Structure 1
Amino acid sequence: MEKKKEDEKTENSENENDKNSEELREAIEQLFEKFENAPEILRKNNEDMEAFKDRLNILWKDPFDLLELFLMLSTEAGDKFNKENRPIASEQNDYVFEALIRLHAKACLIGQEIITLMRNGYATGAFARWRSLHEIAVISLFINNHGNSAAERYLCYDTIESYRALRDYLEDPDLYKKHSEILGYAPYPFDEIKNIENLRNQLCNQFDDIGKNYGWAAKALGDKSPNFHKIEKNVGLDYLRPFYNMANHFVHAGPRGTVFNMGLLEKEEGHILLAGASNFGMADPGSCMAISLSQVNKALLTMKPDMQTSVFMEITKYLIDEINKQFIEIHKSFDDNKS
């Protein structure tokens, strides 16, 4: 009896294995069929995406176009400011100029990324990139307010960040070798890591508290424990903290970001898993981008104010108001048929 049960068990196991093998073969065949038909499948998918983007960009055309125009004007203003002021700034070791022009260029680059994401239907991705733009606006205004000393520390802090990226390897030299072998990278020369450590130590001797997180801002804040929130409050932009916190959900892997998605209507949250583009949710990233980019412009251009700067700021103020108005109008016009 025991042998009969064992034989039946073996036979059932073999049948199950045969079934699994057959399903595996079918799955492999279907996969190879998709590989063979990949050009046609991708062509159809691209056509569908282009049709979707056409509808999206018709719906949001006016605010998208105005936002892109504002970005173009901002980029041109930054380029002009750089060309006109770099020679004398270099002669005078003007750290404020150097820090702000670099931040402004990065802001314009992020602006391009935000617009690209919105024009392709990715509101949450656009808002996640706005988070970085807000940080640039905060830091730019802080440096503008606190002058050359804060700007010099900010630029020197690049070495502190490089040291922090390599700190684990200084404490455990074998760790980088292990990671390099896994990644297939040549190990970073240990003497160069030590050189960065030496430079970091020199800066810590030169500037009090610079080795701490956001330590470059410690003296200007009058606070030995600086952080971004304190800098944000110092320049009066902490009123945007709720939007900044919301953007964090789209950057990190917390559960809120798996439930809440700007591309979904409120009634869809928690019921639909959005795994692609959407034509909803562009108002917040678009409006926030316009506001933050204007703040970065202000920090840079008011370094050396003139009549042209005043005219530019007035024109862009009107443009931003119109951008915000149009984004809100379209956002409010959504109904179930546009989801």
Structure 2
Amino acid sequence: MARRHMHDPFSEEGALELLAQTTERLIRGGLLPDVAATTALKIYMEQLDSSGPRVARTIIDNKANHKRHRRDNQRFETRLRRHWGDGLDILYAVASVYYECGAELTDRKSRETGGPLVEALAGLNARCCRVAFEVHHLLSGGFAMGGLARCRTLHEIAVTAIVLGEYSSKEGFEDLPRRYIEHHYVLNYSDALIYQRDAAKLGEEKFSDSEMAELKRLRDEVISKYGPEYATSYGWAAGIGGKKSPRFSDLEKIAGVSHLRTYYKLASHHIHSDAKDAILNVMRRGDKVGYLYGRTNIGLAEPAGMALGSVAQCFSTHVCALAPIDPRDLVAMKAVQELVTAGYKAFAAGDESVNAAEERYQAEQNRQAP
């Protein structure tokens, strides 16, 4: 006798069918209808609970599928480099030069003079290089929007470096680097309060009363030292440009890069779960429209340009703020500026290459259409 067709037990139709059959068998076994229905649902839910680990193990053990995905990703990245390879190599070179020259500059200045400005710029140099390498990695994998999101951080690092570099030598702001460094005491206590509130729900151990008291003491100490405005998010920059409680947009103006706010806002959409990012994640290819779920070979020029510019700003500030300037550092800075210009051109060429390839593809699709 032929087997009766059975729906997928995990689909809505399959679940209802399975529940009905189980209920029927239980009733034939002597259970009342209401009790049979409740028991059938309990049995089904137990099956769902036990199926999850089995399905997870099957996915983990499916090595062939994992290998296929890795192979597909490698092939995609190879195709991506046909359009963007020159630009990506320049972006990596820029980050590498700043990594090597910035570290050497920091080491030399630490031996010669040291001080809070050297320390502050050293930390920003390290973060700038790390994030630039992250952007390069994301773009090389086809994650342009992820790269743009990290470029927001690069922009913030560059703005902070410029403000520190320009104002640390101005009268009344000689202590600015120290104010910047010690501001972590304010942020530490603020973070600790949130952690204390949520630790139990997270299954974490709370700070002890003495630990919280010490964090508060350190925070109160620096606020007493620098003034009440120091307690705000950018309190370390209080007073610059006449702003008692500056916002980041104020720091952009002070640094002379407020014209880049448009790119900063665009990058911000890819960090937050706002409605604008939902729209930006809709892709059109020919007559097809859909959401972007993974990699893409379009849109690399914007984050790459933002990254190149931010690294160049950080490098120039790092060199020029730590007088006297060594001729070797000037040469490296000029070389980076040349690389950045070449990078802009290479990514513009990559954009044109991708667009031309897509036009050829769509033309071929139209020729083959019935």
TM-score (norm 2): 0.77
Q: Specify the alignment match of 1:193 in structure 2.
A: 212
Q: Specify the alignment match of 1:121 in structure 2.
A: 142
Displacement of 1:37 = 5.1
Say which SS state the counterpart of residue 191 (structure 1) adopts.
helix
Q: Is the 8 A contact 1:264 1:278 kept in 2?
A: no
Q: Specify the alignment match of 2:122 in structure 1.
A: 101
Superposition pairs for residues 48-197 of structure 1, below 5 Å? 48-90=72-114, 94-147=115-168, 148-168=174-194, 176=196, 179-197=198-216
Which of 223, 245, 249 in structure 2 is aligned with 1:204? 223
Partner amino acid, structure 1, of 2:140 = R
Structure 1 unaligned residues grouped into runs of 5+: 1-6, 170-175
Q: Specify the alignment match of 2:244 in structure 1.
A: 224
Q: Give the number of aligned pairs.
A: 315
Displacement of 1:221 = 3.0
In the alignment, the residues of structure 1 paired with residue 256 and residue 315 of structure 2 have an alpha-carbon distance, to the nearest angstrom, of 16
Q: Specify the alignment match of 1:284 in structure 2.
A: 302
Partner amino acid, structure 1, of 2:295 = A
Summarize the Cα distance change of 1:105–1:33 in structure 2 as closer, same or farther, 3 Å threshold: closer
Partner amino acid, structure 1, of 2:201 = I
Say which SS state the counterpart of residue 230 (structure 2) adopts.
coil
Summarize the Cα distance change of 1:37–1:157 in structure 2 as closer, same or farther, 3 Å threshold: closer
CA RMSD of aligned residues (A): 2.9
Structure 2 unaligned residues grouped into runs of 5+: 1-26, 28-32, 169-173, 363-370
Q: Specify the alignment match of 2:365 in structure 1.
A: none
In the alignment, the residues of structure 1 paired with residue 60 and residue 214 of structure 2 have an alpha-carbon distance, to the nearest angstrom, of 53
Work out whether 1:40 is the aligned partner of 2:59: no
Say which SS state the counterpart of residue 251 (structure 1) adopts.
coil
Identical counterparts, % of pairs: 24
Q: Specify the alignment match of 2:256 in structure 1.
A: 236
Displacement of 1:302 = 0.9
Superposed CA deviations along residues 189-219 of structure 1, whole A, max 9, x for unmatched, are 2211111111111111110221122111012
In the alignment, the residues of structure 2 paired with residue 139 and residue 36 of structure 1 have an alpha-carbon distance, to the nearest angstrom, of 44
In the alignment, the residues of structure 2 paired with residue 241 and residue 135 of structure 1 have an alpha-carbon distance, to the nearest angstrom, of 11
In the alignment, the residues of structure 2 paired with residue 290 and residue 53 of structure 1 have an alpha-carbon distance, to the nearest angstrom, of 21
Say which SS state the counterpart of residue 131 (structure 2) adopts.
helix
In the alignment, the residues of structure 2 paired with residue 219 and residue 317 of structure 1 have an alpha-carbon distance, to the nearest angstrom, of 32
Bigger CA radius of gyration: 2
In the alignment, the residues of structure 1 paired with residue 285 and residue 216 of structure 2 have an alpha-carbon distance, to the nearest angstrom, of 50
Summarize the Cα distance change of 1:267–1:207 in structure 2 as closer, same or farther, 3 Å threshold: farther
Which of 263, 286, 290 in structure 2 is aligned with 1:272? 290
TM-score (norm 1): 0.84
